[in-house]
Amino acid sequence: MTDTPLFRRQFREEYIGKYYSGKVHFAFITLWCTCGIALCVFYIHKPTLLQLLIIPLTFIYTNLFEYLGHRYPMHHRTRFLQAVFKRHTLQHHHFFTSEHMNFDTVNDFKIVLFPPVLLIFFSLFFVLPIFVLIYHYFSLNTALLYVATTLAYYLNYEWLHLAYHLPETHWVYRIPGVLTLRKLHHNHHNLHEMDKYNFNISYPVFDIIFRTLK
């Protein structure tokens, strides 16, 4: 049985520096994504229905990426992704258990939100190359729609995951569907079943397809 309050104290002492700000962390991720989305939308010009198909295709692709990344490297130790396993299974899942799902302070955001450097790396080395390929083989509109959708999905993922660890009395749960999604994530934080069910953090599309929804 994990002593969650003790684990939280030790984690804060070791990993949350005195200059860290959960509010700044949240603001950076939000501004990076919204500015990127706005820039893409500004340059999109009269998209066709065929070009707009990239939006649902990108949603499905990113939802699958989320599912596979969470189900496997985040919950199974692998040679080259041990840091991912450590941060998620050994830290996040012991900081938040099914009995202790809520933040204590805003600086606890650090154990939920991805590090800003990871967002920059993801944008430059994953999103940008695919943007170039889509632009080369299809069109600028299609490439911009891909980037905007990817950033929107990333931001939505972060916002939802953050919401799941807020108190159930928070106003965010007035938004239809958010409380239901929180309950799915709550089930996932059962230490005995975390590697078996509910791997979609956002929308359980592939949990339904692969029959891992609980």
Region 37-56: mean pLDDT is 98
Q: Would you state the torsion angle of the CA atoms of residues 83, 127, 29, 40, taken in this order, to the nearest 10 degrees?
A: 180
pLDDT at res. 2? 67
Number of domain units in the chain: 1
- Statement: residue 1 has pLDDT above 60: no
Domain limits for position 188 = 4-10+45-209
Region 113-134: mean pLDDT is 94
pLDDT at res. 79? 86
Residues in the chain: 214
C-alpha span between 163 and 2 (Å, rounded): 23
pLDDT at res. 80? 86
Q: Is residue 22 part of a domain?
A: no
Percent of the chain's residues with pLDDT above 90:
96
Q: Is residue 122 part of a domain?
A: yes
Q: Is residue 34 part of a domain?
A: no
C-alpha span between 178 and 157 (Å, rounded): 12
C-alpha span between 190 and 96 (Å, rounded): 9
Q: Is residue 100 part of a domain?
A: yes
100 forms bridges with which residues in the sheet? Answer: 97
**Please, where are the H alpha helices in the chain?**
4-15, 22-43, 49-52, 54-71, 82-85, 93-95, 116-122, 128-137, 140-164, 178-188, 205-209
pTM higher than 0.85, yes or no? yes
Q: Is residue 35 part of a domain?
A: no
Q: Is residue 31 part of a domain?
A: no
Region 84-107: mean pLDDT is 95
